[in-house]
């Protein structure tokens, strides 16, 4: 029985010219988006590789330099682009890609692509995620808004119900029918995506697992829209009402709520002004050892403590170059201060995101987008991870340079220099990106939330179908 | 002077002649009843007079004006009641009547509108209710009122009494006779042989797009007409 | 007679709309979102204004220190190691900006101008001068975009219009009333256009109300700019009325109309802009920025590491005007003003060509994007709103360029004191420190061109729909 209904719906929809046009359009957009994203990914990856090599080359060939001056000279770290960013480039354009690592300070990432774009970019960007998360649900709405209302309007409802068909079997049949069409459309696209992924260098097992999870997330998301659409169709009096209602839901879920809730989040957890942030940072920086300022009270205290520790009267009697140690002491204080302030902002953003995510009970799109960005590693957490790793590397590099000064130069010998051989041996930044385990830990809650949406919407459709009456 | 006139009026659809070579003249005060089975060409004839379809050959004239050439102008002189009168469900009977008669260029006072509706047989209590609550017969009566309010020279009726109870049908026949007395030319498509005989001045029988015979209603009895009709329908 | 029947049509059409619950529900929803949007815009503007005021306060108090010192001593050091002499350079949003916040959230809006290296501060570090590199904003919010009045007008108003108009003729057909109407002396194309005109009027009036209410809430000036926005709204709703007219002229079912119109909306508001954005990245990549950042780092390291006598000779070769002290090799010491200034000047001079290249690339990209506005009425309308609100990319670039000019003015004034007047600044010179106010210059030619384009699109859509309606149409209808 179920099979009969599902197959009837399937052939009905496939024969519908409107659906065919819409499906071809969505398919074409998806193909274009994949090609364009792939091109962009390849270009940017190439640029990054090149920039990364140039940066390291510059570092290794800076010539003879004082180790601490070299720490000021600094080095760039580049955030890698992941193959799945082809599917969802998430926040990539709104976050910088390069990070300048130098002594004394933790910098912000630079080079935000969005700063180079006009207002056109704010309309959204055609990526596979854009098509799958924003357009396919609309296609589902268009497929299913008349599922039951058309039966009501043509008077078939009485006829079919009089055949002794149970309302719930009918519902399941309708759902299965929509799914058949949907899968016919998206399964080939998923397979094409898989091929593209396989053809991308740098796609490892983790990337495929992420792709699988992303496909699962999308199917759950589609399930929500299928359930809601068929449910509303069962509930609404006529097709027009059903269509208006579903379009309203789509618009709120994809357009209005994501904007409204990020704004609400900012109102609940306002960020400090850059000026206040900077002032607080500077205040904390002053309350500690300053490697460049020996007159600072904390620097003096550190000097006294060091002298006491080694039992000598003056820093020149120490068995090493005191300035190297003092620089490192200052560095550690600065690291601590920066860490505190950066974390404060990160936690603020996390709280804002939590508000955004909490409003997902009205908008499955918010959840799905967050999940897809996490899986593609284009979300805030992946960025923070990169920032943290780069910071760890910076700490290590600056420490190595300061200790070089401390252990191998004489006190007050500011002319002490190391050469390119030394720089070649300094640590490299070998970034290990966010692991799958980390991502799944981050996303499990959202996945359950989305599953909840599927179940609740199914229950709603179930209830609406039970009330169907000729 | 003919109010309604068809000259060699024909309508050809792809492989089927819906109407062939119709010649017809209806003078003021005449009631012409068209009898025939479904698909005989009655509705096509009315649609051609209304300008809803364009003739393949020949022409329909209203008050001497070619309908196909001046479809909007000619409608000023005619009123039309379709088989199923559909109205704006969110407006009351009075508001619907007011709307359509204003479109026809008549601005009636509120009381006049009410009188027109009750005159067409609508219960006084229903006049200000929304049409969404009306039965089919009530809508039909509003349709009649709309036609009457237009004070047109010609009246085109497509099965106007379907959905009316016998009493209302009878009242409608009286109305038609009154209008004809005032000089209105009426073309009515109907299945109701007895009603046709009763109100009609002339009766035409149509079959497969042709007007096969025309006779004066006064010249024949109702049962005679029925016998003649069945003869024509029988091959 | 004709005018009379038009009035009748309008009156009774409005009567029916008035009695439709869906109409009022939709209107209420639109107005609620509009209200939210107005307050959203106001908050955005207030936040930036507050931050500018905060910076201004900060600058004022530090300038007051110098001013007080000058009360006592009449001269002070022109170079205070960037600690006391600042000038505010702000792109202050006004009430009108709240209606279309555009690109303002992504770009700098307040800079405290000081002597220093312009490019190093701008491109190398985020912290060194946070006020120069941008504000603290959650990228997730920036990605989500604005829910401001222009969003309501560009995205939601057309949807509202579609929902009240998609079945204006098809419902008459489906409800059966078209039959009675067709029996009246009314031309059906005229009938449809009258109904459409009423809905256009409702959309335009609602849009105007939304703009005026938002302007009142955000305290925007009721001036020509606001008029431009109102006009753009009328024409934009006109475009959608034209699209609706064309779709209606096909004489198909309500379902067909709804699907076609929603597809058109999707196409113009989402699909076309999104596709163009994606293609732009491919056609106009901005790669000069990567070279720029590398150049900054290299130049910084080089000037920093150059021994002082060598730096001096290079510097005076390039800036002979400043060489008024014979054989000045910059005395030793970190805080030597001439040496630091020379270093910064050389650094900036070295980086300037890279910056120019990046800006040229960006300008090229923006110019090319300009023409793309005409690909969709939605993009056109958004562009008009952003331009009138001075929130467009051109304005952001103009502000950026002005920042450098402001900086150069300030730098040259103080450098003259540092190099030629023994690093002294008199009270009189302090009072004459260069002032610079950035005022956006709105390009009305561009705006008018876009308004005309919207008008032409509307006209041609109506003309073609009228042409379609003139064909014999009732065969299918009855």
pLDDT digit string, tens, across residues B58-98? 999 998 899 888 888 888 888 998 888 889 988 999 999 99
For residue C271, the chain A residues in CB contact (below 8 A) are 29, 126, 135
Least confident of A102-111, A199-208, C130-139, C313-322: C130-139
How far is the C-alpha of A354 from the C-alpha of C346, rounded, in Å?
47
Q: What's the confidence (pLDDT) of residue A154?
A: 79
Tell me whether strands B202-207 and B31-35 are parallel, antiparallel or unpaired.
Answer: parallel
Q: What's the confidence (pLDDT) of residue A102?
A: 84
CA distances from residue A63 to A83, A96, A420 in whole angstroms, order as listed:
37, 29, 6
Residue of C nearest to A58 (CA): C298
Residue A43 in tokens: 């270009």
Residue A240 class from Cβ within 10 Å (0-12 exposed, 13-18 middle, 19+ buried)?
Answer: buried
Tell me whether strands B185-190 and B154-158 are parallel, antiparallel or unpaired.
Answer: parallel
- Three-state SS for C234-301 is HHHHHHHHHHHHHHHCCCCCHHHHHHHHHHHHHHHHHHHHHHHHHHHHHHCCCCHHHHHHHHHHHHHH
How far is the C-alpha of B47 from the C-alpha of B52, rounded, in Å?
5
How far is the C-alpha of C201 from the C-alpha of C208, rounded, in Å?
10
Q: What's the confidence (pLDDT) of residue C329?
A: 66
For residue A123, the chain C residues in CB contact (below 8 A) are 269-270, 273-274, 277, 378-379, 382
Question: What are the pLDDT digits (tens) for C333-350?
Answer: 666 788 888 888 999 999
> CB of C108 within 8 A of CB of C400?
yes
Asked if residue B227 has pLDDT above 70, the reply is yes
Whether A and C touch (3+ CB pairs < 8 Å), yes or no: yes
Q: What's the confidence (pLDDT) of residue C134?
A: 63
CB atoms within 10 A of CB A336: 13
Q: pLDDT-based confidence at C128, cuts 50/70/90?
A: very low
> CB of C440 within 8 A of CB of C223?
no
Residue A105's H or E segment, with its range, is strand A105-106
How far is the C-alpha of C331 from the C-alpha of C157, rounded, in Å?
68
Residues 6+ apart with CB under 8 A from C418: C78, C79, C337, C338, C341
Asked if residue A368 has pLDDT above 90, the reply is yes
> CB of B113 within 8 A of CB of B94?
yes
Residues 6+ apart with CB under 8 A from A270: none
| Strands lying side by side in the sheet with A75-78 | A75-78, A98-102, A105-106
Q: pLDDT-based confidence at B235, cuts 50/70/90?
A: low
Beta bridge mates, A467? none
Buried b / exposed e across B9-23, counting CB within 10 Å, b at 16+? Answer: bbbeeeeebbbbebe
Q: pLDDT-based confidence at C474, cuts 50/70/90?
A: very low
Question: What are the pLDDT digits (tens) for C373-432?
Answer: 999 999 999 999 999 999 999 999 999 999 999 999 999 999 998 888 888 889 999 999
Asked if residue C475 has pLDDT above 50, the reply is no
Q: pLDDT-based confidence at A106, cuts 50/70/90?
A: confident
Asked if residue C226 has pLDDT above 90, the reply is yes
Q: What's the confidence (pLDDT) of residue C127?
A: 43
Beta bridge mates, B57? B10
Asked if residue A261 has pLDDT above 80, the reply is yes
For residue C155, the chain A residues in CB contact (below 8 A) are 255
> CB of A250 within 8 A of CB of A141?
yes
CB atoms within 10 A of CB C409: 16
Q: What's the confidence (pLDDT) of residue C472?
A: 57
How far is the C-alpha of A346 from the C-alpha of A381, rounded, in Å?
9
CA distances from residue B77 to B62, B69, B113, C129 in whole angstroms, order as listed:
7, 15, 20, 83
B100 in contact with C at a CB cutoff of 8 Å?
yes
Region C108-128: mean pLDDT is 76
Of C123, C127, C274, the CB nearest to A105: C127
How far is the C-alpha of B51 from the C-alpha of B68, rounded, in Å?
6
Residues 6+ apart with CB under 8 A from C475: B53
DSSP helix/strand/coil, C75: strand
C-alpha distance from C232 to closest chain A C-alpha (Å): 17
CB–CB of A40 and C278 under 8 A?
yes
Return phi, psi of residue B106, to 5°.
-110, 125
For helices A297-310 and A322-358, what crossing angle results, to 10°? 120
> CB of C411 within 8 A of CB of C352?
no
Residue A408 in tokens: 């191998």
Rounded to the nearest angstrom, the gap between the alpha carbon of residue B70 and the centroid of all alpha carbons in its chain is 20
CB–CB of C369 and A120 under 8 A?
yes
Q: What's the confidence (pLDDT) of residue C125?
A: 59
Of A105, A111, A352, the CB nearest to C138: A352
Residue A169 in tokens: 């079997």
Eight-state DSSP code of residue B92? B
Beta bridge mates, B24? B6
Tell me whether strands C75-77 and C424-426 are parallel, antiparallel or unpaired.
Answer: antiparallel
Tell me whether strands A75-78 and A98-102 are parallel, antiparallel or unpaired.
Answer: antiparallel
Residue A177 in tokens: 């029918």
Q: What's the confidence (pLDDT) of residue A29?
A: 87
CA distances from residue B61 to A408, B40, B70, C373 in whole angstroms, order as listed:
115, 21, 10, 54
Question: What are the pLDDT digits (tens) for A63-105?
Answer: 888 888 888 888 888 888 888 988 998 898 888 778 888 888 8
Question: What are the pLDDT digits (tens) for A232-256?
Answer: 999 998 888 888 889 889 999 999 9
How far is the C-alpha of B56 from the C-alpha of C378, rounded, in Å?
46
Question: What are the pLDDT digits (tens) for C149-202?
Answer: 999 999 999 999 999 999 888 888 888 888 888 888 788 888 888 999 999 999
Question: What are the pLDDT digits (tens) for B150-191?
Answer: 888 899 998 887 777 888 888 888 888 888 888 899 999 988
Residue of B nearest to C477 (CA): B52
End-to-end CA separation in angstroms for chain B? 37
Query: Of B226, B230, B206, B207, nearest to B217 (Cα)?
Result: B226
Region A151-162: mean pLDDT is 80
Predicted TM-score of the model (pTM) = 0.90
Residues 6+ apart with CB under 8 A from C195: C9, C13, C165, C168, C169
Q: How much is the mean pLDDT over chain C? A: 87
Residue C416 in tokens: 């003259």
Tell me whether strands B154-158 and B78-81 are parallel, antiparallel or unpaired.
Answer: parallel
Residue B234's H or E segment, with its range, is none
C262 in contact with A at a CB cutoff of 8 Å?
yes
> What are the sequence ranges of the domains in chain C?
3-33+149-283+447-477
Tell me how long chain C is. Answer: 478
Buried b / exposed e across C441-468, counting CB within 10 Å, b at 16+? Answer: ebeeebbeebbebbeebbeebbeebbeb
Query: Of C109, C202, C194, nearest to C160 (Cα)?
Result: C202
Residue A368's H or E segment, with its range, is helix A364-376
Q: pLDDT-based confidence at C476, cuts 50/70/90?
A: very low
CB–CB of C180 and B52 under 8 A?
no
Question: Which position has the token pair 């009918």?
Answer: A170
CB–CB of C9 and B103 under 8 A?
yes
Of B84, B99, B156, the CB nearest to C12: B99
CB–CB of C271 and A58 under 8 A?
no
Question: A with C: how many residue pairs have Cβ under 8 Å apart?
Answer: 239
Residue of C nearest to B83 (CA): C179
Residue A463 in tokens: 């209830």
CB atoms within 10 A of CB A430: 7
Question: Which position has the token pair 């002005």?
Answer: C402
DSSP helix/strand/coil, A50: helix
């Amino acid at each position: 029985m179920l099979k009969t209904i599902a197959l009837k719906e399937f052939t009905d929809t496939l024969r519908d010219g409107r659906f065919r046009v819409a499906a071809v359009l969505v398919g074409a957009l998806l193909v274009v988006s994949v090609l364009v994203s792939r091109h962009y990914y390849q270009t940017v990856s190439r640029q990054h590789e090149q920039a990364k090599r140039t940066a390291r080359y510059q570092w290794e060939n800076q010539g003879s330099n004082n180790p601490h001056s070299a720490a000021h000279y600094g080095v760039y770290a580049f955030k890698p682009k992941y193959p799945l960013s082809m599917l969802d480039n998430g926040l990539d354009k709104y976050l910088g890609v390069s990070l300048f690592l130098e002594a004394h300070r933790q910098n912000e990432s630079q080079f935000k692509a969005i700063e180079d774009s006009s207002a056109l970019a704010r309309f959204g960007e055609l990526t596979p995620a854009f098509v799958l998360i924003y357009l396919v649900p609309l296609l589902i709405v268009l497929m299913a808004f008349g599922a039951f209302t058309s039966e009501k309007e043509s008077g078939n409802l009485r006829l079919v119900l009089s055949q002794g068909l149970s309302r719930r079997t009918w519902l399941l049949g309708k759902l299965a029918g929509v799914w058949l069409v949907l899968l016919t459309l998206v399964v080939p696209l998923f397979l094409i995506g898989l091929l593209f992924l396989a053809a991308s260098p740098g796609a490892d097992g983790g990337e495929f697992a992420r792709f699988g999870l992303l496909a699962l997330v999308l199917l759950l998301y589609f399930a929500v829209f299928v359930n809601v659409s068929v449910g509303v169709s069962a509930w609404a009096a006529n097709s027009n009402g059903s269509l208006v209602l579903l379009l309203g839901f789509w618009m709120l879920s994809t357009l209005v709520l994501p904007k409204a809730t990020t704004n609400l989040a900012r109102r609940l957890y306002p960020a400090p002004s850059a000026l206040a942030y900077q002032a607080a940072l500077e205040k904390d920086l002053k309350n500690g050892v300053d490697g460049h300022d020996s007159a600072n009270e904390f620097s003096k205290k550190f000097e006294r403590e060091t002298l006491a520790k080694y039992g000598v009267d003056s820093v020149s009697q120490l068995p090493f170059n005191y300035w190297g140690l003092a620089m490192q002491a200052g560095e550690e204080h600065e690291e601590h201060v920066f860490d505190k302030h950066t974390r404060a902002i990160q936690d603020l953003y996390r709280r804002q995101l939590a508000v955004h995510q909490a409003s997902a009970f009205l908008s499955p799109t918010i959840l799905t987008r967050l999940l897809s960005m996490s899986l593609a590693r284009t979300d805030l957490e992946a960025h923070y991870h990169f920032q943290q790793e780069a910071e760890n590397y910076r700490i290590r590099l600056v420490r190595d340079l300061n200790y070089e000064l401390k252990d191998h130069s004489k006190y007050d010998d500011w002319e002490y220099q190391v050469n390119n051989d030394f720089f070649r041996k300094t640590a490299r930044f070998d970034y290990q990106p966010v692991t799958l385990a980390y991502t799944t830990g981050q996303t499990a809650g959202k996945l359950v939330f989305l599953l909840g949406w599927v179940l609740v919407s199914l229950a709603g459709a179930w209830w609406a179908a039970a009330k169907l009456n000729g | 002077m003919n109010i309604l006139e068809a000259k060699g009026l024909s309508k050809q659809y792809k492989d089927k002649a819906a109407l062939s070579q119709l010649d017809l003249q209806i003078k003021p005060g005449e009631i012409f009843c068209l009898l025939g089975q479904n698909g005989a060409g009655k509705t096509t004839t009315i649609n051609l007079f209304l300008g809803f379809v364009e003739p393949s050959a020949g022409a329909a004239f209203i008050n001497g004006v070619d309908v196909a050439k001046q479809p909007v102008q000619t409608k000023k002189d005619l009123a039309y009641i379709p088989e199923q009168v559909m109205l704006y469900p969110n407006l009351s009977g009075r508001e619907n009547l007011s709307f359509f008669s204003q479109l026809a260029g008549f601005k009636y006072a509120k009381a006049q509108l009410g009188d027109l509706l009750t005159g067409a047989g609508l219960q006084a209590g229903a006049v200000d209710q929304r049409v969404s609550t009306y039965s089919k017969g009530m809508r039909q009566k509003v349709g009649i009122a709309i036609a009457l309010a237009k004070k047109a020279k010609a009246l085109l009726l497509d099965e106007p009494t379907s959905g009316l109870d016998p009493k209302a049908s009878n009242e409608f026949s009286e109305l038609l006779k009154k209008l004809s007395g005032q000089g209105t030319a009426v073309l009515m498509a109907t299945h109701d042989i007895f009603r046709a005989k009763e109100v009609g001045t002339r009766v035409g029988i149509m079959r497969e797009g042709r007007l096969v015979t025309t006779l004066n209603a006064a010249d024949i009895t109702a049962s005679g007409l029925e016998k003649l009709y069945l003869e024509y329908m029988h091959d | 007679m004709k005018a009379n029947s038009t009035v009748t049509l309008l009156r009774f059409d409005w009567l029916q709309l008035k009695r439709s619950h869906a109409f009022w529900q939709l209107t209420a929803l639109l107005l609620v979102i509009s209200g939210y949007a107005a307050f959203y815009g106001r908050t955005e503007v207030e936040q930036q204004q507050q931050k500018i005021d905060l910076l201004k306060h900060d600058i004022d108090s530090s300038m007051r220190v110098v001013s007080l010192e000058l009360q006592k001593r009449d001269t002070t050091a022109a170079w205070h190691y960037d600690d006391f002499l600042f000038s505010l350079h702000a792109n202050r949003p006004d009430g009108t900006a709240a209606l279309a916040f555009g690109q303002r959230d992504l770009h700098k809006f307040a800079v405290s101008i000081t002597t220093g290296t312009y490019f190093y501060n701008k491109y190398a570090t985020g912290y060194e001068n946070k006020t120069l590199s941008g504000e603290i904003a959650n990228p997730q919010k920036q990605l989500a975009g604005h829910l401001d009045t222009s969003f309501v007008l560009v995205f939601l108003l057309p949807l509202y219009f579609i929902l009240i108009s998609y079945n204006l003729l098809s419902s008459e057909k489906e409800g059966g009333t078209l039959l009675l109407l067709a029996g009246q002396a009314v031309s059906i194309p005229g009938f449809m256009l009258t109904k459409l005109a009423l809905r256009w009027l409702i959309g335009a009036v609602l849009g105007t109300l939304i703009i005026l209410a938002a302007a009142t809430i955000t305290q925007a000036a009721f001036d020509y700019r606001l008029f431009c926005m109102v006009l753009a709204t009328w024409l934009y709703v006109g475009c959608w009325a034209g699209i609706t007219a064309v779709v209606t002229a096909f004489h198909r079912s309500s379902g067909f109309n709804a699907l076609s119109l929603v597809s058109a909306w999707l196409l113009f508001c989402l699909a076309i802009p999104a596709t163009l954005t994606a293609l732009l990245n491919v056609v106009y990549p901005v790669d000069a920025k990567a070279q720029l950042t590398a150049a900054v780092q290299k130049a910084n390291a080089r000037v920093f590491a150059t021994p002082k006598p060598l730096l001096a000779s290079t510097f005076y070769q390039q800036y002979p005007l400043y060489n008024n002290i014979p054989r000045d090799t910059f005395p030793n010491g970190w805080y030597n003003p001439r040496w630091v200034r020379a270093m910064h000047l050389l650094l900036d001079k070295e980086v300037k060509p890279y910056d120019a290249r990046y800006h040229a690339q960006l300008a090229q990209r923006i110019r090319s994007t300009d023409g793309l506005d005409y690909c969709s009425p939605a993009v056109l309308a958004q562009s008009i709103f952003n331009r009138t609100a001075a929130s467009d990319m051109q304005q952001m670039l103009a502000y950026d360029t002005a920042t450098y000019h402001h900086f150069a003015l300030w730098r040259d004034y103080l450098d003259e004191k540092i190099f030629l007047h023994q690093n002294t600044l008199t009270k009189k010179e302090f009072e004459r420190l260069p002032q610079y106010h950035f005022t956006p210059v709105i390009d009305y030619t561009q705006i008018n061109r876009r308004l005309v384009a919207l008008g032409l699109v509307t006209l041609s859509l109506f003309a073609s729909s009228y042409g379609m309606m003139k064909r014999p149409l009732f065969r299918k209808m009855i």
